Structure 1
Amino acid sequence: MHPVVNHLVQLEELILIRDEQKVTSGEAHLDTLNLAIKNMTVKLPRDIREHAEKLNNKGQSAIVPIAEKVCSGCGITLPISLVQAVRLAREVHSCPSCARMLYFMESAPKRLANKRRRTGPQKAGVARFSSPALMIPALQSDTVEGVIQEMATKMEAEGFLDGTDMLIEAALQREAILSTGIDNGMAIPHVRGVEGGGLALALGISPKGIQWDPDDTELKHVIFFIVIPTAASAFYLKLLAGLAETFTDSEARSAILAESTADGLYKTLCKVTRRTIK
């Protein structure tokens, strides 16, 4: 990977983490993240820095991966010559449609298309990207790594994605930057940049609780594991905000923790998030 591209990818990750913190944890860690972002930004070549800031100021990612010859930012199919040039990584290239800078990933977890026949009314809320099959009423693991592995394996076993090992590695790398544990006994480990399909959400309950962050004494009982295609990054922040808002309510937390079956957990999740997640 071109060194400037690698720098941009790391910078973009910090910006997204900062956005996540704003919607889930308020001011926590924001000063540290803002300083890290500032220090990384000034190290970019001037033309690249100005281009990245222009995109970020529009609420867009400055750099996105190519997924199967498609710009994952805007969805346009790219010329083969451009895909090859991005892959060679001799210089920084941009999408001719959305102007986002591009990078090439040799491999990434893939979100599989839902092949089930759709019947009945169109789904709304959480039901659009989850399923009773992705509910785990009693997680067996009692460590962060174990829970992530258990939930990622569940997603693959139920046919929602392919590439569990890559998914687990990416989720743990994200945890190493900043814990995804938040208040009210929740954690939201996740992986962005998944190829294909749409966002997918699994929910696991830990009756005993898990110490998600060594610096946080609050045990986490409600664990959401989410995979996010690049194109769904903006909606993902709304989803995070909706989940955080939902479970500030002790009644919603109690209702979720009271369920002992996958179907019951799914129905309750849909019910308690009906107002906060559209």
Structure 2
Amino acid sequence: MRISEFLSPPAIVSDLKARDKQEVLRELSAALARAHPTLKAERLVEVLREREKLGSTGIGEGVAIPHGKLPGLGQLVAAFGVSRQGVDFEAIDGKSTHLFFALVAPENSAGVHLKALARISRLFKNPRFRASILEASTVEAIHALIVQEDARP
């Protein structure tokens, strides 16, 4: 599974304006809805918020992977956002979060959903990669870095 299969440039926000967790979820949901016009941003926000109620998806090292499942969704979709100032996302390490990868999967897709989460988590464990994403200033540059890193064995 490659991230480029479910993340496209229109779903990337190179400079999130959000100042808190709820604003991040709204901004990422809006990006997903722009990239996938059949999806409604309000519904996506609800899905992501429901999962956050179970515990923060802030995995630490400045990364969060908010995710959820949406009934009726035909395929896995994702949005990615960079917060230059950082946001308190209640991450497990207590640090500010700068890189957000929102993932929404079809309701009955546990295998695909878990594979995608694992792939994203593994990619963003690399400190050099995280730094390069933070230095990139355009959607195109961010997308190219993700695709390049994802192509590594």
Same fold by TM-score, threshold 0.5 exceeded? yes
2-structure distance, mates of 1:229, 1:201: 12
* Alignment-derived partner of residue 21 in structure 1: none
Equivalent residue for 1:219, pick from 79, 96, 101? 96
Q: Secondary structure at the match of 1:251?
A: helix
2-structure distance, mates of 1:215, 1:251: 21
Residue 179 of structure 1: how far off its partner (Å): 0.6
Q: Runs of at least 4 residues of structure 1 off by over 4 A?
A: none
Paired residues of 2:59 and 2:92 also in contact (CA < 8 A): no
* Alignment-derived partner of residue 84 in structure 2: 207
Does residue 268 of the first structure (1) align with residue 140 of the second (2)? no
Paired residues of 1:193 and 1:230 also in contact (CA < 8 A): yes
TM-score (norm 2): 0.91
- Cα 1:215/1:180, change in 2 over 3 Å: closer
Q: Secondary structure at the match of 1:162?
A: coil
Q: Secondary structure at the match of 2:47?
A: helix
Equivalent residue for 1:147, pick from 24, 35, 45? 24
Q: Which amino acid aligns with 2:54?
A: I
2-structure distance, mates of 1:204, 1:194: 24
1-structure distance, mates of 2:12, 2:97: 16
2-structure distance, mates of 1:175, 1:140: 20
Paired residues of 1:188 and 1:226 also in contact (CA < 8 A): yes
- Cα 1:214/1:126, change in 2 over 3 Å: closer
TM-score (norm 1): 0.52
Residue 193 of structure 1: how far off its partner (Å): 3.0
Equivalent residue for 2:11, pick from 134, 139, 147? 134
What RMSD, in angstroms, separates the aligned Cα atoms of the two structures? 1.8
Residue 216 of structure 1: how far off its partner (Å): 4.5
2-structure distance, mates of 1:266, 1:170: 25
Equivalent residue for 1:237, pick from 94, 101, 114? 114
Residue 237 of structure 1: how far off its partner (Å): 1.0
Residue 138 of structure 1: how far off its partner (Å): 0.5
Greater relative CO, 1 or 2 (CA 8 Å, sep 6+): 2
* Alignment-derived partner of residue 162 in structure 1: 39
Equivalent residue for 2:75, pick from 178, 183, 198? 198
2-structure distance, mates of 1:184, 1:131: 24
Q: Secondary structure at the match of 2:36?
A: coil
- Cα 1:230/1:136, change in 2 over 3 Å: same
* Alignment-derived partner of residue 132 in structure 2: 255
Structure 1 stretch displaced more, 178-187 or 225-234: 225-234
Aligned ranges for residues 58-77 of structure 1 at < 5 Å? none
**Percent sequence identity over aligned pairs:** 27
Give the gaps of 5 or more residues in structure 1: 1-123
Residue 133 of structure 1: how far off its partner (Å): 0.7
Residue 130 of structure 1: how far off its partner (Å): 1.3
